[in-house]
Amino acid sequence: MATLVEVKNVTKVYHRDTLEIPVLQNISLEVPEGEFLALMGPSGSGKTTLLNLISGIDQPTSGAIVIAGTDISRLNESALAKWRSRNIGFVFQFYNLLPVLTAFENVELPLLLTNLTKKERKERVEMVLKVVGLDDRMEHYPKQLSGGQQQRVAIARAVVTDPTVLIGDEPTGDLDRKSAEEILTLLERLNKEFKKTIIMVTHDPHAAQSARIIRHLDKGELTAN
Amino acid sequence: MNVLKLIYKNFLRHKLRSLLTMLGIAIAVLAFGLLRTVVTSWSYGVEASSANRLITRHAVSFIFPLPYSYRSQIEAVPGVTKVSFANWFQGTFKDQSFENFFPRVAVDPETIFDVYTEYTVPQEQLANFKKQRNSCIVGKKLVEKYGFKIGDIINVTGDIYPGEWEFVVAGVYAGKDKSADETQLFFQWEYLNERSRQVASWATDHVGWYIIQIGNMNEAPAVSEAVDAIFANSAAKTKTETEKAFQQSFVSLSGAIITSLELVSYVIIGIILMVLANTIIMSARERIREYAVLKTLGFTSFHIVGLIAGESLFISMIGGVVGLLLTFPVCQGFGAQFSTLFPVFKVAVSTMVMALSFAVLVGVVAAIFPAYRSARMTIVDGLRQIG
């Protein structure tokens, strides 16, 4: 399979006042298209930072990140925002749905940035909500849904634009075992059935078993499997 | 769904807070509109002045009268088509409250309605006014307020001209348009002159001011100069000016009050700006994480600015429109209550434009700081926010 995500010698250093905090050190990583990668590591190991860099919501201090042939570390803020809207689907640990919007409207949000007509948007939203098994909860607000259901809405929101890469930052971290299983099953299905490339951060070994590749991060460095 | 719907839903997120802020803006716009209307109504006389009328008064002060004998000399000045005259009477009707104040003026019945063409009086009533020495003509608004009828006697206690005065209502005048002052009482100058021989001999055969009608408004400077030149060496020198300038001098007497009112009206806008800014800052702070999520989805800083400014404008515009709509009935009630003090109390178009412009301005300015901060926020920092 062709390489879809290339992380080349990436270093990330945060600055807090006069302090320099190195988070990632000379990281290189390749993710083939259609893969399901789990990044594991203890708290503070830099896995979320790496995920943020791959998803284009943060920029590396040095190095390059090439996704589907685009070096996103060279894009400016507005170009990066446009690139994200087309290429990245992001699933957060705490769902991060907008509480004032229904499930349907939350999923529709990323489509507002496309040229799709209202009818086309509706068809797409209904389709992905059906895929995640929430076609009967479209008009429900987040507070009317369980944690697992909210995360499924968040996954629907992440895939509704048919992104190049689906990113998950501890997507099961806030869920009970049963709900977590449902989410992992859904992610596996998206990977196998819909050929979605997925990169997921988790500290749960059981969750990581759903992935086909597992990489470990420790103190800002990738370690052997 | 579209961005406007998201703005609307965000507005409804804290209904009470949004409604109170909106109500605050509505009240501020109402207060602004009322104060501005007081300011504009104060100088209504200036706006309603005729360009074809000049006023000649004593050069020292309006309170000093001019000899009646000046009349014929003024009439002889080239460019003058008609001369009338008047005396401020004042006096007390019922009591000294503002509510019962209205102008009471001694006039020349033969000429007053020739120079004040904006007033109309039925011919028969005018004829009766000219015939009966102690008769008077009252404005339509006085009739509406006090229920005066033809033949009624109006009792006024004199102050400048002491004594008890009785005026018989001979007619009612009305303005040709809404800007005309319909709150005055005109009575015969001869009646005043006659009684002043006993009660105010200093005023006998004197008038308060002359009203000069000219044929061509472009001749106003020349006629003014000519009139004043005639009396330049007399004991009672004159000052002739356009009616507008004459009215303006009255308004400027209360300039400090007007300026204060104007200042207060702007302060109110400033206060409500702070209130709205506070609301928008609170809302934006609570939603930092949501803005970060939106940015993650591909929304730009421009979109975030639009959401924040849109909500701010939504609140300020709705509040502004509600406030403006309330301004009309409130001003109508206020105007009716103080109709004799403010003969014309109308919300000016400029006031409406200013009120709505301020509402927009407040909406925009209140959003600047939170929009700037949210736009500058990085996604990573935004996602770290709790709540």
Q: Are residues B10 and B89 in the same domain?
A: no
Q: Are B142 and B148 in contact (CB under 8 A)?
A: yes
Nearest to B380 among A57, A98, A99 (CB): A57
Highest mean pLDDT: which range of B50-59, B122-131, B338-347:
B122-131
Residue B45 confidence (pLDDT) above 70 = no
Q: Which residues pair with A7 in a beta bridge?
A: A29, A65
Residue B53 lies in a domain: no
Q: Are residues B84 and B37 in the same domain?
A: no
Q: Which residues of B touch A57 (CB under 8 A)?
A: 295-296, 379-380, 383
Residue B242 lies in a domain: no
Q: Return the closest-CA partner of residue B270 out of B206, B358, B383.
A: B358
Q: Are residues B188 and B64 in the same domain?
A: yes
Helix (H, G, I), strand (E, B) or coil at B236: coil
Residue B209 confidence (pLDDT) above 70 = yes
Q: Are A91 and A154 in contact (CB under 8 A)?
A: yes
Angle at B36 between CA B31 and CA B39, to 5 degrees: 130
Q: Do A108 and B300 touch (CB under 8 A)?
A: no
Q: Could you give the dihedral angle defined by the CA atoms of residues A103, A107, A113 and A118, in that order, rounded to the nearest 10 degrees?
A: -70
- The ipTM, to two decimals, is 0.92
Helix (H, G, I), strand (E, B) or coil at B118: coil
Q: Are residues B369 and B267 in the same domain?
A: yes
Q: Which residues of B touch A52 (CB under 8 A)?
A: 379-380
Residue B50 lies in a domain: no
Q: What number of other Cβ atoms are within 10 A of residue B380's Cβ?
A: 17
Residue A225 confidence (pLDDT) above 80 = no
Q: Which amino acid is at B84?
A: S
Q: Are B42 and B344 in contact (CB under 8 A)?
A: no
Q: How far apart are CA B102 and CA B95, in angstroms?
A: 12
Q: Are residues B66 and B155 in the same domain?
A: yes
Banded pLDDT at B386 (limits 50, 70, 90): low
Q: Count structural domains, chain B.
A: 2
Helix (H, G, I), strand (E, B) or coil at B173: strand
Average pLDDT of the residues in B132-150:
94
Task: Please tell me the predicted confidence (pLDDT) of residue A224.
Answer: 60
Q: How far apart are CA B362 and CA B274, in angstroms?
A: 9
Residue in the block written with tokens 């204060």: B260
User: Which of B236, B268, B302 finishes a domain?
Assistant: B236
Cα distance from B363 to chain A (closest Cα, Å)?
22
Q: Are B343 and B138 in contact (CB under 8 A)?
A: no
* Domain edges within chain A: 34-59+88-223
Banded pLDDT at B258 (limits 50, 70, 90): confident
- A150 part of contact set with chain B, CB < 8 Å: no
Q: How far apart are CA A185 and CA A85, in angstroms?
A: 25
Q: Are residues B199 and B336 in the same domain?
A: no
Q: Are residues B215 and B299 in the same domain?
A: no
Q: What is the mean pLDDT of chain B?
A: 91
Nearest CA in chain A to B11: A100
Q: What is the mean pLDDT of chain A?
A: 92
Q: How far apart are CA B37 and CA B40, in angstroms?
A: 5
Q: What number of other Cβ atoms are within 10 A of residue B58's Cβ?
A: 18
Give the residue numbers spanning the domain of B282. Answer: 3-44+255-384
Average pLDDT of the residues in B227-241:
94
User: Which of B236, B268, B292 finishes a domain?
Assistant: B236
Task: Please tell me the predicted confidence (pLDDT) of residue B232.
Answer: 94
Token duo for residue B386: 């709790």
Residue B31 lies in a domain: yes
Q: Are residues B179 and B296 in the same domain?
A: no
Q: Which residues pair with A36 in a beta bridge?
A: A198
Q: Do A109 and B294 touch (CB under 8 A)?
A: yes
Question: pLDDT tens across A18-74, in order?
Answer: 888 899 999 999 999 999 999 999 888 899 999 999 999 999 999 999 999 999 999
Question: pLDDT tens across B263-307, in order?
Answer: 999 999 888 888 898 989 988 888 999 999 999 999 999 999 999
Token duo for residue A126: 């209904």
Q: Are residues B154 and B7 in the same domain?
A: no
Residue B250 lies in a domain: no
Q: What number of other Cβ atoms are within 10 A of residue A26's Cβ?
A: 13
Q: Do A96 and B299 touch (CB under 8 A)?
A: no
Question: pLDDT tens across B306-324, in order?
Answer: 999 999 999 999 999 999 9
Average pLDDT of the residues in B357-378:
92
The CATH code of the domain at A34-59+88-223 is 3.40.50.300
Q: Which residues of A touch B13 (CB under 8 A)?
A: 99-100
Q: Do A84 and B298 touch (CB under 8 A)?
A: yes
